[in-house]
Amino acid sequence: MRKPMHGTTGALLLVGALSLEGLFLSALFLTRDNVFAGPSSVSKVVDPGDAAAGRSLFNGKGVCYYCHGVDGHLDKRPELAADTAALIARLNPPPSDLRNSKALRLKQDKQRAQAVREGHPGTGMFPDTTMTNQELADTLAYLALIRKEGRTGPQ
């Protein structure tokens, strides 16, 4: 019989499970990218971040909206499988409100880029290894936009 999980071990297991799911998703994306990526995707030139492209990434390939809500509105939860939603609901600390600039801890894009690339230490936010540098720049531009918009931004 399975014992109910509790305390730190339970939390760690949950975060572990979520990270695994992240890796699994990443693997899917990697496969997809390898199939479809044309020669242009290896270009190292990064244009200034495009917030509209960043929004699509945030609510799509980047999987950010799973935890941070659609368009960064924490109360706009996407439809997720029940077990995934339960794992996210139990994250401690909970996902940040990316529209509340006062409550955010990271102050520079360099730190934010690191959080996306390497994961956010001590939290359930797993590393995103599939974004190109351009996609990362676009995501950062979108994060800047929603910080500026605040909670009253487009719903």
Contacts to ligand HEC by CB under 6 A: 18, 62-64, 66-68, 88, 91, 93, 95-96, 104-106, 112, 115-116, 120, 123-126, 128, 139, 143
Shorter beta-carbon distance to ligand HEC: residue 18 or 39: 18
Helix 133-149 crosses helix 51-58 at what angle (to 10 degrees)?
100
User: Which residue, 1 or 81, is less far from ligand HEC as judged by CB?
Assistant: 81
Q: Which is nearer to ligand HEC, 4 or 121 (CB)?
A: 121
Classified as helix, coil or strand, 17 is helix
Distance CA 27, CA 154 (A): 32
Q: How far is the CB of 48 from ligand HEC (least distance, A)?
A: 17
Structural contact between residues 81 and 88, judged by C-beta atoms closer than 8 angstroms: no
